[in-house]
Amino acid sequence: MSLSIHEFAHAFVANLFGDPTAKHEGRLTLNPLAHWDSVGTTILVVLLALRAFGLSGLPAFGWGKPVPVNEDNFENPRLHGLQVALAGPMSNFILALIFAALVRFVQLPELLGAVLVMAIYINLFLMFFNLLPIPPLDGSRVLRLFMSQETYYAMAGSPFFLFGVIFVIFFFLSDPLVRATSYLTSLLIGG
């Protein structure tokens, strides 16, 4: 659900600013199948299923099919491109706020409350992770404001850069991401 809403938010904001590309490709929808990446989403579902069956040491990672955006359709490509990129992580934050309001202010069965707390955590983690200013993540669009398009796309398309990013995230940023996510989850649920 979070992945579909995240990708839908990108498509919705792009369409709002004049780019109908995602709409024309059937991506302006909440249907999860429209946002299913044959590799990234499948890996995510398999890893989550294995974790549910007791293999809790496995990492949970994956991705949705990126929403196609043609920034040439925007009046202000850099600014509107940034806003489209930020729409995904902000949708995760809004979902976390909605779930937190339910946990805090509605009397829920214990199991449903626990599921919602996990959904809050997952959405906040997705938000923080996607806001990292590293290509190809959504937060990297901030970098585009301060560098040429050629430099940005050279970085984003380099396999060496991608492997370096993976190394940095797993070895240096995973702890701060988990701590920030845990802190904000606790804050939102009133813990």
25 belongs to the catalytic site: no
Q: Considering Cα of 96, then 99, then 103, then 104, what sign does the dihedral take? A: positive
CA Rg value for the chain: 17
Question: What distance in Å separates the CA atoms of residue 22 and residue 29, rounded to the nearest whole number?
Answer: 9
Torsion of CA 88, 11, 168, 1, to 10 degrees: 60
Q: What are phi and psi of 144, to 5 degrees?
A: -60, -25
For residues 35 and 42, the answer to whether their CB atoms sit within 8 Å is no
Question: What distance in Å separates the CA atoms of residue 94 and residue 123, rounded to the nearest whole number?
Answer: 9
Catalytically annotated residue among 7, 25, 75, 110:
7
> What amino acid occupies position 157?
G
**Catalytic residues, which ones?**
7
